[in-house]
Amino acid sequence: MRVMAQLAMVMNLDKCIGCHTCSVTCKQAWTNRTGMEYVWFNNVETRPGLGYPRRWQDQAEWEGGWVRKANGRLTLAAGGRMKKLLNIFSNPKLPSIDDYYEPWTYDYETLLNSPQQQQFPVARPLSLISGKPMNVTWSANWDDDLGGAREYGPKDPMIKGIEDKVKFEFEQTFMFYLPRICEHCLNPACAASCPSGAIYKRSEDGIVLVDQERCRGWRMCISGCPYKKVYFNHKTGKAEKCTFCYPRVEVGIPTVCSETCVGRLRYIGLMLYDADAVLDAASVENDQDLFAAQRGVFLDPEDPAVQREAERAGIPGDWIEAARKSPVKRLIMDYQVALPLHPEYRTMPMVWYIPPLSPVVDVVKETGHDAESQANLFAAIDTLRIPVEYLANLFTAGDVAPVNEVLKKLAAMRSYMRDINLGRDGNADIPATVGMGEEEMYEMFRLLAIAKYADRY
């Protein structure tokens, strides 16, 4: 056992309102500068939809992340390291600027400076790349709130295989939001892809960074990252990425995206894990076992043996304490309501998500039954407006069972709390159906609903 500490994040998608405040505050703080106009370290995608860059999840096209070879060894999907070295001067697997978007501005000055003329003046869009007038046809958030729509939805890679379950018709509309930052993976493909050794993982907190002095701009990291969360700065010629706001977290304040999250859905905390176990876990044969395998890598900070090993590994006492109190640990390990994004990429991502529950009662409305009864709720989950298969494609390599477990816990929590809200005694049978105790369920409720600042970070 080799204990290491990792800063991690959980986002509760059930609370995300899709407001993009996180994107804007992050952009303002970090990427609002020349060469980075098209870059959003944090972006929010409406799902179903194409995402940013367009169809980033289509690894058949982009070849990001790792694949497990027949011999059980991992290799970068874009090709082994030999291939990387041989192809270093021509990297064909890069999203083009059109896949991100051509950033633009406007000739705003015209509004004030126009001489007297025939028409009311207007500010036209100008490309920030060429400086010339342009037509805006795509952006980092083009399909916002469309719910997919006929034109874009069917091209969502997550629809593949469940086309019969997703109809882009008024009556069947559904959507939810997926905010994304760098995953700060335990097994980062970007780092492994870098021929210059410029990408590293900070030993004390696991934040993945690009050394701006060492980066030579090969862009292999951009190909290697299956989440497409490493970006190329067109001015400096170097790669840049989300830094988990290390200048902030180092002094004890949360990342910009978290602290400014109006939905109050982001949790930051420390996870202890066994660094020696990562590669084995990332190499399990079946894609659908990966998420459980990753959970198996995490160490219980309550375990005296883990504490001892952590101390031996040089992890300070207050960090171990932080790991014990970590809300992220509670959500991932204790309540088991958070799931990783695309475990099948085998990078062991460390930004996890609670899948969205609602709307749920919608589907039982025709029955005339008490929609809050947990029996009805559980039945309803199988026919959610958001197809559970879609969520499974995002979080569990297509296995619907773990997603269902989480949704049932959320539904049970609502059902259990209804009694308490009405001044009645809580019904212990309800948490029991999802394998939880009353106290545990109440604590989960407090963490998810009341979610005080001090409890989120």
Partner 1 sequence: MTDTGFDSPLADALVGTRRFFTKAQVSDDKRSMYVAGGRSGDSFYRDRWSHDKVVRSTHGVNCTGSCSWKVYVKDGIITWEAQQTDYPSAGADKPEYEPRGCPRGASFSWYTYSPTRIRYPYVRGVLLEMYRAAKQAVGGDPVVAWASIVQDPDKAARYKSARGKGGLVRSSWEEVVELVAAAHVYTVKRWGPDRIAGFSPIPAMSPVSYASGARFLELVGAPMLSFYDWYADLPNASPQMFGDQTDVPESGDWWDAGYLMMWGSNVPLTRTPDAHWMTEARYRGQKVIAVSPDYAENVKFADEWVACNPGADGALAMAMGHVLLKEFFADSQVDFFVDYNRKFTDLPMLVTLEEGENGWEQGKYVVAGDLDVPEKDSENAMWKTAVLDQRTGQVAIPNGSVGYRYGEEGWGKWNLDLGDIEPALSVYDTRDDAVLVRFPRFDADGGSVVFETRGVPVKRIGDRVVTTVLDLMLAHYNIAREGLPGDWATSYEDADAVNTPAWAERITAVPASQIIRLAREWTHNAIDTGGRGMILFGAGINHWFHADQIYRAMLVLTTITGCQGRNGGGWAHYVGQEKIRPIMGFQHMAFALDWHRPPRHMNQTAYWYVNTSQYRYDTFTADDLDMGTGVFAGKGVMDLLALSVRLGWTPSYPTFNRSSLALADEAKAAGMEPVPYVVEQLKSGELKFAVEDPEAEENFPRILSLWRSNLFGSSAKGNEYFLKHLLGTDNAVTASQAPADKRPDGIVWPEQVPEGKLDLLTTLDFRMTSSTLFSDVVLPAATWYEKHDLSTTDMHPFVHSFNPAIAPPWQSKSDWDSWKEIAKKFSELAVDHLGTRTDVVAKPLWHDTPEALATVHGSVRDWRTGEVEPVPGKTLPVLAVAERDYTAVYDKMTSVGPLMEKVGMLTKGVPYDVQRETEILRQRNGTQRGGAGDGQPKLDTAIHVADAILHFSGTANGHLATLGFKNVEKRTGTQLHDLSAEHEGKQITFADTQIQPVPVITSPEWSGSESGGRRYAPFTINIERLKPFHTVSGRQQFYLDHDWMQGMGETLPVYRPPLNMTMLFGETPLGEKTELGVSVRYLTPHNKWSIHSEYQDNLFMLSLSRGGQTIWMSDRDADKVGIKDNDWVEAVNRNGVVAARAIVSHRMPEGTVYMHHAQDRLIDVPLTETNGRRGGIHNSLTRIMIKPSHIIGGYGQFAYFFNYIGPTGNNRDEVTMIRKRTAPVRYN
The crossing angle, in degrees rounded to 10, of helices 400-421 and 438-445 is: 90
Q: CB 139 → partner 1: shortest distance, Å?
A: 6
Q: Are 297 and 348 in contact (CB under 8 A)?
A: yes
Cβ atoms < 10 Å from Cβ of 64? 28
> Which two tokens mark 268?
């930051």
Amino acid identity for residue 59 in this structure: Q
Q: CB 350 → partner 1: shortest distance, Å?
A: 12
Looking at residue 434, the DSSP 8-state letter turns out to be: T
Closest CA to 376 of 418, 335, 338, 337: 418
- Which of 91/442 has CB closer to partner 1? 442
With H, G, I as helix, E, B as strand and everything else as coil, classify residue 13. Answer: helix
Cα dist. 75→52, 63, 81, 117 in Å?
25, 11, 8, 64
- Which of 17/401 has CB closer to partner 1? 17
Q: CB 302 → partner 1: shortest distance, Å?
A: 26
Q: Are 147 and 153 in contact (CB under 8 A)?
A: yes
> Which two tokens mark 318?
């207050």
**Which residue has 């700060």 as its token pair?**
184
- Which of 131/304 has CB closer to partner 1? 131
Q: CB 137 → partner 1: shortest distance, Å?
A: 6
Q: Are 414 and 441 in contact (CB under 8 A)?
A: no
In whole angstroms, give the CA distance from residue 61 to residue 445.
41
- Which of 125/398 has CB closer to partner 1? 125
Q: CB 36 → partner 1: shortest distance, Å?
A: 11
Closest CA to 7 of 241, 228, 183, 261: 183
- Which of 237/401 has CB closer to partner 1? 237
- Which of 72/401 has CB closer to partner 1? 72
- Which of 122/401 has CB closer to partner 1? 122
Closest CA to 178 of 206, 201, 156: 156
- Which of 4/323 has CB closer to partner 1? 4
Q: CB 6 → partner 1: shortest distance, Å?
A: 11
Q: CB 260 → partner 1: shortest distance, Å?
A: 5
Q: CB 254 → partner 1: shortest distance, Å?
A: 10
Closest CA to 400 of 416, 411, 389: 389
CA angle 31–36–41, rounded 5-degree value: 50
Q: CB 13 → partner 1: shortest distance, Å?
A: 10
- Which of 92/368 has CB closer to partner 1? 368
Amino acid identity for residue 432 in this structure: A
